[in-house]
Amino acid sequence: MRYFVPLLSLSITLLPATGFAQNMPMRHHKQHGSESNGTVTGRVLLADGQPAEQVSVRLKGSERGTVTAADGSFALKVPAGWQSLVVSCLGCQAQEVAVEVQPGQTATLPPFTLARGEQQLQEVTVTGAKSLNQRTPSVGKMPIAPLDNPQATLTIERPVLEQQQALRLSDVLANVAGVYVMGATGGTQEEIASRGFAYTSANTFKNGVRYNNGIMPEVSSLERMEVLKGSAAILYGNVAAGGILNLVTKKPQFERGGSVGLRVGSFGFVKPQFDVYGAVGESQKVAFRLNGTWERADSYRDGVKSNRVYVNPSLLFRLSPKTDLVIEGDYLRDNRTPDFGIGTVDYQISDSRSRFLNTADATNATNQTSATATLTTRLNSTWQVRAVGAFQRYANELKSASRPTANVIKPGQSYGNWLRSLQRTQTGENYYLAQVDLTGNFRTGRIGHTLLVGADADQYNTNTLAYTTQAFDSVNILNPSRRLGQPKGTTTGYDALRYNTRTLGNTRRAGFYAQDLISLTDNVKLLAGLRWSYQETPSDVYTYPALTAPATNPATVKENRRYDNAFSPRLGLVYQPVKTTAIFASYSNSFAPQANTVTDNQGGSLPPSMIDQFEAGIKNDLFKGALSANVTAYYIVNNNQAQTIQQYLGNGLNPNYNANFPSAQELAGEVTSKGVEVDVQSRPVNGISLIAGYSYNNTAYTHSTLYVDGSRLRYNPAHTANLSLFYSFGKVFGDNVLLRGLSAGATGYYVGDRLAGRNPRLIYDAKGNPVTDTNKYLALPNYFLFDASVGYAYERFSVRFKMANLLNQLSYNLHDDNSANPIAPRTFSTTLTYKL
């Protein structure tokens, strides 16, 4: 975007109220060769009271300096004595600050405000860019620089999304090593996982608030995507061990601007979108942003269509120089044809991209509405309070054939015949959240602290109505046009299905947590914290009599009650041999409460499974921050996983088996996930930007009475790799106004060895003899996606052309052995944008 930016080259002297300037000795600083040093800390603010990030603070007359953090704070080691610091940035006056520093002591300056410069520049294009290890994810709740954090983190910023023309979340995830799409059940969502663990709705966030990921989120509204790999239980309680994902939407700005655009592509894809922002009227206190889109498309899948509408309004209120309130919401309506893929026969896939097995009138209609209020107030230069209140409404109605399974597998005329059944569900969910965090930066003697203390509470109210599943007709999976008729007693359609069960849930959770980043020395830091979580999961299941109306025969009800609590510790150590390198190691754990229906062999509740995680790695900023390269190794073990108690083992009757509770479970399983991840990112340098990554993962049963030791868990690729390279020709064509807006790039994404199907079980008869299991693995083809893009920008107009999956690779995302969804073929799209 183009701006008129005031040139800021300032020179300010801030003096204490005591007037120490008159008494200040004439020597401004000691010789740099002195061994007697101290530290200066402080906080820089903008004129409106906001923290001034990435402002230069340097020792006058030397090359020694630093930049301010996200909260405007800085710390700089200087020689003892009277010193002058020069604070400068683009768009403000450079200011000179005098301070006396005692040997071995820390001098803390009072907060000071930058003054705007008066000199004007010609129109320039400003591109702000930070390295991978300079971007602090907001979902981490603490102002910890990534190099100080003993955890793998990654952020994908808006410019990358625009360069790559990301349409779905899977497009963005292709830039993150070790986070991948594990399935696409029904074609209505993208199921995400990392390190062998699924990202449920408990692991997916929008602006720091959980959201229901049963719907594909809208990518056009994103400012960035943040990933915390590994355990985040200390911050958010009940989350799976693989990590968490946070989608950060676009925020209000006081400067007026925006854009309108249109994207068109293969298979009838049309997507107009808009984004406007600015101050409300001439206000200096209230700003707004409104963006949205409409989308419709056919598909490479026969009979599949989709349309969606999305709106994302937000307001920023500057309540005082130290207090901000952001109110934001969004609405997404997504209607599409449910699509469980091409099916399999006897754990075999018969390749096809277009074969469609659902009924012509199948529908999946989803509405999702959210509202979030975030209040941030800076109490003083040390402490800040952040409070969040949020509400989300999720409503879905599904009318679809069941997942395709062939019940005849012998070769012959009936090979692939399938008795197709219909299903129908209605789901409503209200989600509420309240959260408050207190953060502070302070010192106790020579030890620095970045402290987080917080509490949160949330609640899910759910209402799920399931209709009876009934046979409808018979078709052949391999030839859907060959309908085999409607057997006797089959239903006539979705409207003929009757109520089966209604489940009312009211999950309530609360947590209290504290975490402290302790700077023992300038290059050794310790992160320690603890969380206590409490969770109630009551549910009432109403079962309606078969083939009767609810009004004439009331449902029977079964009440389920479950109460859990758990402690989640975290301990990490960081060593920085140089300022641009950090070596770290950490331990943390997470917990997985059991479902309400899970009982032990006496009918009681099983406690949560506890999952231990060990992580070690190295983070590097190379070439003055132009390139970041991070490597992380991890070892995650769940040594008390719940698994079904088998009636017989290899030595006969299982003493833990109770015939009165044949579905009882025990904490006897062990699953281990281990692997390594490499993330590489560059800042744009001479027009070149690079993102690359690699991950290896092995998630397997390492002890089980149900599965073979060493057998891998399904859906998790052993290897993934990604590479994105873009080049802007501005320097090459710097004197050519017509050509300097040209850019081009390519992305590659490799997904390796994966397994689907069903894990083979250990089954024994009454004498302890092994019985052949009918479950089998289903190996999925590796694939490599290659995309190419060309873009051109001239003044306010830009156009981008993308060619996706140029090699026309074919592979599948599977659920169990039946929902086999082909990946998209070669497609083309064009995006035209006008900046307001």
> Is 177 in contact with 219 (CB distance < 8 Å)?
no
**How many whole angstroms separate alpha carbon 800 and alpha carbon 792?**
6
Find where tokens 């009767």 sit. Answer: 548
Mean of pLDDT over the chain: 88
pLDDT at 467 over 70: yes
CB count in 10 Å sphere of residue 71: 20
Is 483 inside any structural domain? yes
Lowest-confidence segment of 156-170, 282-296, 452-466, 543-557 by average pLDDT: 543-557
pLDDT at 450 over 90: yes
Lowest-confidence segment of 155-169, 500-514, 721-735 by average pLDDT: 721-735
Segment holding 42, helix H or strand E: strand 37-45
Choose between 651 and 615: higher pLDDT: 615
pLDDT score for 362: 96
pLDDT score for 388: 98
- pLDDT-derived band at 118, boundaries 50, 70, 90: very low
pLDDT at 784 over 70: yes
> Is 90 in contact with 114 (CB distance < 8 Å)?
no
> Is 41 in contact with 442 (CB distance < 8 Å)?
no
Listed in order, strand segments (DSSP E) in 104-178 are: 106-108, 112-113, 124-125, 153-157
Is 214 inside any structural domain? no
pLDDT score for 11: 31
**How many whole angstroms separate alpha carbon 832 and alpha carbon 836?**
13
- pLDDT-derived band at 37, boundaries 50, 70, 90: confident
What whole-number percentage of the chain has pLDDT above 90? Answer: 67
Strand partners, 594: none
**Residue at which a domain ends, from 78, 105, 125:** 125
Average pLDDT over residues 681-685: 91
**Residue at which a domain ends, from 73, 95, 125:** 125
Average pLDDT over residues 198-222: 94
pLDDT at 25 over 50: no
pLDDT score for 625: 86
Is 491 inside any structural domain? yes
**How many whole angstroms separate alpha carbon 546 and alpha carbon 664?**
27
Is 203 inside any structural domain? no
Find where tokens 């450079």 sit. Answer: 94
Claim to verify: residue 318 and residue 459 sit in the same structural domain: yes
pLDDT score for 55: 84
- pLDDT-derived band at 117, boundaries 50, 70, 90: low
Read off the CATH number of the domain in which 709 is found: 2.40.170.20
- pLDDT-derived band at 119, boundaries 50, 70, 90: very low
pLDDT score for 90: 65
Segment 330-370, tens digit of pLDDT: 999 999 999 999 989 888 898 999 999 999 999 999 999 99
pLDDT at 554 over 80: no
Instruction: Classify strands 112-113 and 37-45 as parallel, antiparallel or unpaired.
Output: parallel
pLDDT score for 204: 95
pLDDT score for 63: 74
- Cα–Cα distances in angstroms (integers) from residue 729 to residues 260, 652, 736, in the given order: 24, 73, 10
Choose between 44 and 494: higher pLDDT: 494
Average pLDDT over residues 698-711: 94
Lowest-confidence segment of 261-265, 293-297, 561-565, 718-722 by average pLDDT: 561-565
pLDDT score for 398: 97
Average pLDDT over residues 223-242: 94
Read off the CATH number of the domain in which 41 is found: 2.60.40.1120
What whole-number percentage of the chain has pLDDT above 70? Answer: 92
Choose between 21 and 179: higher pLDDT: 179
Start-to-end CA distance of the chain, whole Å, equals 10
Find where tokens 């059940």 sit. Answer: 185
DSSP state of 377: E
**How many whole angstroms separate alpha carbon 451 and alpha carbon 619?**
23
Domain membership of residue 522 as a residue range: 257-835
Choose between 133 and 192: higher pLDDT: 192
DSSP secondary structure of 603-639: S-PPPPEEEEEEEEEEEEEETTTTEEEEEEEEEEEEE
> Is 718 in contact with 752 (CB distance < 8 Å)?
yes
pLDDT at 245 over 60: yes
pLDDT score for 798: 95
Segment 58-113, tens digit of pLDDT: 888 777 888 887 778 888 888 888 888 888 876 677 788 888 888 878 888 888 78
Q: The pTM is what?
A: 0.85
Is 308 inside any structural domain? yes
pLDDT score for 24: 38
pLDDT at 385 over 90: yes
**How many whole angstroms separate alpha carbon 306 and alpha carbon 204?**
23
**How many whole angstroms separate alpha carbon 177 and alpha carbon 218?**
22
Is 743 inside any structural domain? yes
Is 460 inside any structural domain? yes
**Residue at which a domain ends, from 68, 93, 125:** 125
**How many whole angstroms separate alpha carbon 40 and alpha carbon 825?**
58
Claim to verify: residue 490 and residue 639 sit in the same structural domain: yes
pLDDT score for 54: 77
| Domain count for the chain | 2
Is 200 inside any structural domain? no
Claim to verify: residue 642 and residue 502 sit in the same structural domain: yes
Lowest-confidence segment of 150-159, 543-552, 716-725 by average pLDDT: 543-552
pLDDT score for 810: 95
Helices (H), 259-341: none
